[in-house]
Structure 1
Amino acid sequence: MHEYEATPDENTKVEKSMARQSQHASAGCAKAACCRMRQAFKQKLIEIVPALQGRVYDVQPPSQTAEEPYAVMALGEEIWKSSWAGYRQVVRIKLYAGQAGLAQADVWANALIAGLHREPVTGQGEDTSAFTPHYLGVRDAEKLDTVTGKAYRTLRFGVYVPETEGSSAIPTNGAAQPDEWLAALTRWTQKQLGETWLVYANAWPAQPGRHAVLWRLSGCETRMAGASMYELRKRFIGHIIAPDSAEENRAASALVEGFATQIQLPLDQDKGRYMSTDEASADLQADAILDGQLRLTLVQRRMRPAEEAALIRRVEIHPVLK
C-alpha cells in the first residue's frame, strides 16, 4: 500500500486544492466513526480474549503498576488514501502478558489476527455500525517498555472510513447518478456473480458487506474509426473484497472469463445499444481496497453527427469565350 504524497508539479495545484476540500468535508465523518470504532474494538478484543475483560485501556494503562495481563489500544495515523476508499485509520494494540510471558502474548496475537482480519467488527446496542479491520503487520512485533520495564507484543490493524460514512454508496433520487456505462456494468456484474454479492459504483460505502465489488471509471478517450464514425473508449477499475483471497481470485477469474464469452454488454437493450469488451485483465496480487484487481476497457462505435450545409438550388454553366 502506498501512502498519499503530493507532487510538486505546478500543474496539479488545482487538483490538490479540490482533494483538500474533499478531505476536509469528510473529516467530521471520520472523527465520528473513531468513537464508535474504539468501543467496538474493545468489545471484540474481550470477546476473542476473555482474559482481557476489564483490562483494555486507551493509549496507556492507568498506572505503571497495573496488574497484568492487560492490553493497550491506541488510534494511530489517520491517512487520506483516495476518493473511493476515504481515510485509513490505524489501530495499534499492545498485549502485556505478564508472568505468562511473550509466548502467551503470541497465542493471543494469533487469535486476534484470525478474529479481526477481514472480519466485521460491529457495535452493540443501538450502535449497528460495522468496521472491517485489515491486519497491516508491524516492524518490531516485540518491544520493551522503557518506562515500566515490561515486554509487550504489538499488533497493527487498518480500518477504511469512506467519504460515504453514514450513507449509502448507491445513488438516490436527487444525488449524482453514476455514468451510464458504469451503471450497466454494475448490473451485468450483479447478474454474473449472483445475489450473494453486492456491487457498487464510484466509491466504497461505510459497510460494503463481506462479498462486494466496486467499479469506478478511471479514464476515457475517443478514436477515429473512419470518415463517418468514431470510437468511444472507457477504462474501468474493479475492486473485489471477500473473506479470503481465494474467493476474491475466483470472482475475478469468473468476471474476466465472462467478459471474454459475452463480448457485447447491454447498455439499452430496448434501443439496441451495446458496448463491446476490448480488454479485460486481473492482477490477483493488487490491493483490493486501494488499487483494484480488475482492468477493463469498453468500446462503443458511434456515428459522427452530420453537419448542416447550404443546399444547391441551381447550377449554371457559361461557355468559355475565346
Structure 2
Amino acid sequence: MNLAKPYAVLAHEADSAGSPWKGLRHLIQIRLYASRAPGTTTELDSLTESITGVLDKQLLADESIGNWITFFEDQSGSDIVDEERDAITRNLQFAVLSPRPLTEEVQVTSDPWLSMLVSWTQNTLGADWSVYSGNWPAKAFAPSILWRITEMNVVPSGPLHYEVRKRLTAFIQAQDANQEHAVLLQLVEALGSAVKIPLAADERKFVRVVSPEVSTKTKATGYEATEEGPLTVSLSRRTAASKLAEEGAPLMQFVHYESHLR
C-alpha cells in the first residue's frame, strides 16, 4: 500500500498493568514517514516539533475512559531509511499516564513541613499555579506542582539537641518546557534567598533551607514511588531532644543487632 507522505503510524509498546501507586502507564510509539527527497530531515523536524507541541504534557479527557496525561519521552534511535516504502522514518516515544486514587496510604501528605512548603510555594507562584502535597490528585491540571518528602532523619547536635532534616522533591506539570524552566528558576532563586521559612511564625519557629538543587535532565513525573523530581531541597531544624515528637521527627522503623562475641 503506497500512502501519500508524510504520515504517522501509532503502536502500543507496553503498559504498567496498573498498580495502587502510579495508576496506569502506557508507552506509545509514533513512527513518522516522510518522502526520501531533499529537505526530508527538515520535514521530520517540523513534524516532530508539531506533534510534541500538541501532545507533550497535555491532558486528554474522555468520558468513557477518564483523564490521561501524555509526556514526550524521547526520539527512539536514529532516522531510518525504509527502502520498501521509499521513505525516511523517525520513531517518537510517548508515555500516557492515567492517575488512579490510591488504595492505601503510601506517601506522607500531612507533615507540617510539607504543608508549610506547599503554602510557601503557593504564595511564591500565585493563584495561576496549583500546588499539591504527597500525591497527584486524580485530576491535576497544568500548571501545577507536587511536593513530596523523600527522606527524613535525625542527627545529634550536642548532648541535649538534635537536628531534624527532611529532603523534599518537586514535580512539575507545565504548559510547555519554557514554563517549566521558568518556574524552576523562580523557585530555586526564591528558596536560595529565603534562607529560613516560617514553620509557625507566631511561635517563632523556622526551618532552614539547605541546598536547593535543579536537575533539568530528569524525566520524573511523580507517578513512581522512587522518583525524584527536577527540583529538590533539604530543610532542617535544630530542636531539643524532649521535643522531637512534637517536631514530627521520623519514628524508629527497626533495630538490627549483630554480635561479634565468641
TM-score scaled by length of structure 2: 0.69
* 1:292 and 2:241 are equivalent in the alignment: no
2:154 corresponds in structure 1 to 222
- Whether the 8 Å contact between 1:277 and 1:298 is mirrored in structure 2 is yes
CA–CA distance in structure 2, aligned partners of residues 83 and 126 of structure 1: 21
- Whether the 8 Å contact between 1:92 and 1:156 is mirrored in structure 2 is yes
TM-score scaled by length of structure 1: 0.58
1:248 corresponds in structure 2 to 180
Larger helix share, 1 or 2: 1
Number of residues paired by the alignment? 231
Task: Decide whether aligned partners of structure 1 residues 195 and 188 sit closer, same or farther in structure 2, where only a CA change above 3 A counts.
Answer: same
2:191 corresponds in structure 1 to 259
Secondary structure at 1:140's aligned position in 2?
Answer: strand
Q: Which has the higher contact order (CA 8 A, sep 6+)?
A: 2
Task: Decide whether aligned partners of structure 1 residues 149 and 294 sit closer, same or farther in structure 2, where only a CA change above 3 A counts.
Answer: closer
Secondary structure at 1:236's aligned position in 2?
Answer: strand
Structure 1 gaps, min length 5 = 1-64, 307-322
After superposition, the C-alpha distances for 1:64-97 in whole angstroms (9 at most, x for unaligned) are x4754554311113359x9976664221123456
Taking only aligned residues, the RMSD between alpha carbons, in angstroms, comes to: 3.7
1:233 Cα deviation from its structure 2 partner:
1.0
Structure 2 gaps, min length 5 = 222-226, 244-262
- Whether the 8 Å contact between 2:108 and 2:149 is mirrored in structure 1 is no
Task: Decide whether aligned partners of structure 1 residues 100 and 194 sit closer, same or farther in structure 2, where only a CA change above 3 A counts.
Answer: same
Find the partner of 1:115 among 54, 74, 77: 54
Larger strand share, 1 or 2: 2
1:92 corresponds in structure 2 to 29
Task: Decide whether aligned partners of structure 1 residues 110 and 237 sit closer, same or farther in structure 2, where only a CA change above 3 A counts.
Answer: closer
Task: Decide whether aligned partners of structure 1 residues 230 and 129 sit closer, same or farther in structure 2, where only a CA change above 3 A counts.
Answer: same
Larger Rg: 1
2:80 corresponds in structure 1 to 142
1:205 Cα deviation from its structure 2 partner:
4.1
Matches within 5 A, 1:1-322: 65=1, 68=4, 71-78=8-15, 88-96=25-33, 103=40, 106=44, 108-118=47-57, 120-123=58-61, 129-144=67-82, 149=85, 151=87, 153-161=89-97, 165-167=99-101, 177-287=109-219, 289=221, 290-305=227-242
- Whether the 8 Å contact between 2:75 and 2:92 is mirrored in structure 1 is yes
- Whether the 8 Å contact between 1:86 and 1:160 is mirrored in structure 2 is no
